[in-house]
Chains A and B, each alone.
Chain A
């Protein structure tokens, strides 16, 4: 093995693959120098600045909108109201069947507002500040209506109705039934029933809020959209029919995006409104969302209430399955919903081998910000409920929580493991991962310390918790048919182009929209291995560019899939390009293609490094010296190689709600030690371990970064971050004054580790892992429960000091109000 310095700064090896190395990120050179290009850096000639006028009410009729006083201000170009929008466009396409499918949503509210922050008008002016001042002069007369802010209450027919076209608030309802839960509950040795669990509402609050610069060109009728939307082709699917424009008229562009987490899939309504404003004004419009707007109206993570959860448990600890009623709170409109009503089923049994499951799932509409995909979309909620179930079974029936998990985990020999709904878990070793987590934690020592501290009665309690989750990656969009059989979607895919340019430059064009996931680095590593060059020699064009990128309907960056789909496409394209380079080189060197070796950026004859052709020579043959090529060869090479990666999916069966809903399953096992101050309820994390198994790691440092981010995010949500509404439909955390994202002060020094179980289903053994599974939510609830004992139940994902204090008060008042019932035979 030889080594020397490279452009990436990493040691160069010719025998060791680049894949798997901790290479520094290519992106960081520009990002750390402040030279990234984010949407707010984009400027268009003649652009105006837009500002939304938003409803202060959670629910109200819009009696009138008078933009006259705003238009009187010098420098105000124009304004747009809901009634105008209704004339200019059609309602958004709804993913839902009826009843949710009957919802008529326009880019601006028409006649009625349904949540605080619902936009009623737009103002365009020559400066951002002027637009904001002018927006304050828009007079909107509202007639306030009663609100409903609870998902379960919203299902009650007597609740205030948000959408009269439906007549009630149930957007989607369905039953998922596998095995025979009635038999299991009747025959199990124990039945553990939990009355109510609640997964709270929070968000990802990306550093960069929504934004867009849009020009609906009055001459060409082309709509140029520069934005930070993270799934632009989905945006086209939603907007093209709404705007009465062809998909080919819509050109999307993005470069750097400052965090997305799924939320930025849901910026299409704002983009639609801005496009119409540009069309009306005949000039480009620019909009950068304020933080308050983002909190109020961008999109929130899913909130779910679980009622009447019953688990069937055998005497040896085997959990046969469970039954539950789930109420998902979609907020005021269906943005990407009701896909969340099936996406949780990708992780139906979470990490466990449950056989009998019945979930009665209802999604309701409430006077709250619409929910949308948010890191771990729809699966976190379900897996947290299962972790609470497992922990409660352990506590109530006196099982060791470690052993109970090990008994019920999917075992290493079970893979590929088919769940009751026919999803296939690809690989893993959960018992080993748990052992490693506990070893890193110093589990035995902490248990001893816990016994000492808790016995000392000095106002402190220690608890130790475990959380096990999956990060399912690469959706089978056929699952959409489970919520709406009429949808013509199935499978998944991603496209890439690998290119050898005129002077021998290597380039890869992706259709993805990275928001910090290091696509440029990891793609270059993988492609460099295939083309025998330095990753620094591979220029990767990440970010979406309608003219330059190649794409399929599902292109974008979301749902933990790039390591499988994006890299899969890049591998396919690079392999095609390699084939062409080899063919041209074999012609040039007058040898067989099998004799060609690609290494160190040149093609050479095997065993004779002097008999070689550099990439510039190969490119020359194809671009500028083509007359020397035989026709057969000239006809099959372009050095522009497009490849579409298509994961091996079949359409699911909507009737039985079964099928392989996702391709890979990374898993996470976290363990934590916490200390509770009995006087205040404050929770302090004393120790934290995050284990991850995402198969083959393309760049371990990038994986480590994602693990840190997802863990911090989960800790923030568990202890600090919450989006709550008051009885009038007001969001109580509309600024960072009240919404507290986790900072370095809130996150302990993490101990991380990994198990590497390559996926047999992806091209490179990798699994998507960016969302992280939300393991901290289960882990911290488990630890708090462990500290408090079994006489009170931790029922909520969010446990700030005041909630833990209430639980302590419950204990001090004698407990017994746990909301748990155990029946044993």
Chain B
């Protein structure tokens, strides 16, 4: 699944960049996150507990910055899962200055594997959009 969108943030690009590119800050901005472990400048592991119709199950996802072109482009990739679920994703953020604020264009390529995919099929696109919006909302604050 590939999604894309854009947001305008009333923050200077450098500030948005600082938050987006900081693993701790980015990790904590993700919804349904239980914990974040930063492994280095460009890596962190987040434990999620997504809720589905069958209950909730912890899912660990390892994130890494795949591309970094400060202050305009950041690409984060992730992979992980639980016993019967797996997720692979690649999120790209393009930052452009716009009237004192920042335009953020984003794309998200998401591959969800396992029964979780079946259970979330009618809502996964909306959930993914919410996820990105939540990240950017934190930046906005």
Q: Which residues of A contact B (CB under 8 A)?
A: 53-54, 56-58, 116, 135-138, 142, 144, 292, 296, 726, 728-735, 737-738
Contact = CB atoms under 8 A, between A and B. Distances in A.
Contacts of B113: 56-58, 116, 144, 728-730
Given A728-B113, A732-B117, A737 B53 contact: yes
Interface stretch (B16-24, B77-85, B94-102): B77-85
B83 A137 contact: yes
Contact of B86 (A53, A56, A732): A56
A136 B83 contact: yes
A262 B82 CA distance: 33
B54 A56 contact: no
B68 interface: no
A135 B57 CA distance: 13
Interface string B67-81: 000000000000001
A735 B85 CA distance: 15
A498 B25 CA distance: 78
Contacts of A726: 117, 121
A380 to B, nearest CB: 25
B114 interface: yes
Contacts of A292: 115
A728 B117 contact: yes
A56 B81 contact: yes
Contacts of A53: 83
Given A57-B113, A116-B113, A730-B113, A735 B83 contact: no
Contacts of A136: 57, 82-84
Q: Identify the 10 closest CB pairs spanning chains A and B, nearest first.
A: A56-B114, A734-B118, A136-B83, A730-B117, A56-B113, A56-B86, A734-B115, A57-B113, A732-B118, A728-B111
12 contacts: A56-B84, A57-B86, A58-B113, A136-B83, A144-B113, A728-B111, A729-B113, A730-B112, A734-B119, A735-B53, A737-B53, A737-B118
A116 B114 CA distance: 7
Interface string B121-135: 100000000000000
A135 B84 CA distance: 9
B121 A738 contact: yes
A136 B85 CA distance: 10
Contacts of A54: 84
A56 B119 contact: no
B8 interface: no
B108 to A, nearest CB: 15
B112 A737 contact: no
A613 B85 CA distance: 71
A484 to B, nearest CB: 35
B13 to A, nearest CB: 35
B54 to A, nearest CB: 7
Contacts of A138: 83
Contacts, number: 58
B88 interface: yes
B54 A735 contact: yes
Interface in B37-77: 53-54, 57
A20 B53 CA distance: 49
Contacts of B53: 735, 737
B115 A142 contact: no
A142 B121 contact: no
Given A116-B113, A136-B84, 13 more contacts: A56-B85, A56-B114, A57-B86, A58-B113, A135-B83, A136-B57, A728-B117, A729-B113, A730-B113, A730-B117, A737-B53, A738-B118, A738-B119
Contacts of A57: 86, 113
A144 B88 contact: yes
Please indicate which of the listed interface residues B81, B111, B112, B115 has the most CB atoms of chain A within 10 Å of its own CB: B115
A728 B121 CA distance: 13
Nearest to B111: A728
Nearest to A57: B113
Nearest to A137: B83
Nearest to B85: A56
A296 B113 CA distance: 12
A722 to B, nearest CB: 12
A135 B115 CA distance: 15
A495 B27 CA distance: 67
Q: Looking at chain B, what size class is its interface with the partner chain?
A: 10 to 19
Given A58-B113, A116-B113, A292-B115, A142 B84 contact: no
Contacts of B118: 730-735, 737-738
B129 to A, nearest CB: 18
Contact of B119 (A58, A137, A737): A737
Contacts of A135: 83
Contacts of A116: 113-114
Nearest to B83: A136
Contacts of B81: 56
Contacts of B88: 144
A745 B115 CA distance: 27
A545 B82 CA distance: 41
A733 B121 CA distance: 9
B68 to A, nearest CB: 25
A54 B112 CA distance: 15
Contacts of B83: 53, 135-138
Contacts of A730: 112-114, 117-118
Contacts of B112: 728, 730
Contacts of A137: 83
A115 to B, nearest CB: 12
A526 B98 CA distance: 88
B126 to A, nearest CB: 17
A735 B83 CA distance: 17
A142 B87 CA distance: 12
B71 to A, nearest CB: 33
Contacts of A296: 115
A58 B118 CA distance: 13
A144 B84 CA distance: 14
Contacts of B115: 56, 292, 296, 734-735
A517 B86 CA distance: 42
Nearest to A144: B88
Contacts of B114: 56, 116, 730
A267 B118 CA distance: 24
A116 B117 CA distance: 11
Please indicate which of the listed interface residues A56, A734, A735 has the most CB atoms of chain B within 10 Å of its own CB: A56
B56 to A, nearest CB: 13
Nearest to B81: A56
Contacts of A729: 113
B80 to A, nearest CB: 11
A720 to B, nearest CB: 16
B101 to A, nearest CB: 37
Contacts of A728: 111-113, 117
B50 to A, nearest CB: 14
A57 B111 CA distance: 10
A731 B118 CA distance: 6
Nearest to A134: B83
Nearest to A58: B113
Nearest to B114: A56
A739 to B, nearest CB: 9
B128 to A, nearest CB: 14
Nearest to B53: A737
A800 to B, nearest CB: 14
A404 B85 CA distance: 53
A130 to B, nearest CB: 14
A412 to B, nearest CB: 49
Nearest to A142: B86
Contacts of B57: 136
Please indicate which of the listed interface residues A142, A296, A734, A738 has the most CB atoms of chain B within 10 Å of its own CB: A734
B87 to A, nearest CB: 9
Contacts of B111: 144, 728
Contacts of A144: 88, 111, 113
A53 B82 CA distance: 11
A436 B93 CA distance: 68
A728 B114 CA distance: 10
A690 B117 CA distance: 38
Contacts of B86: 56-57, 142
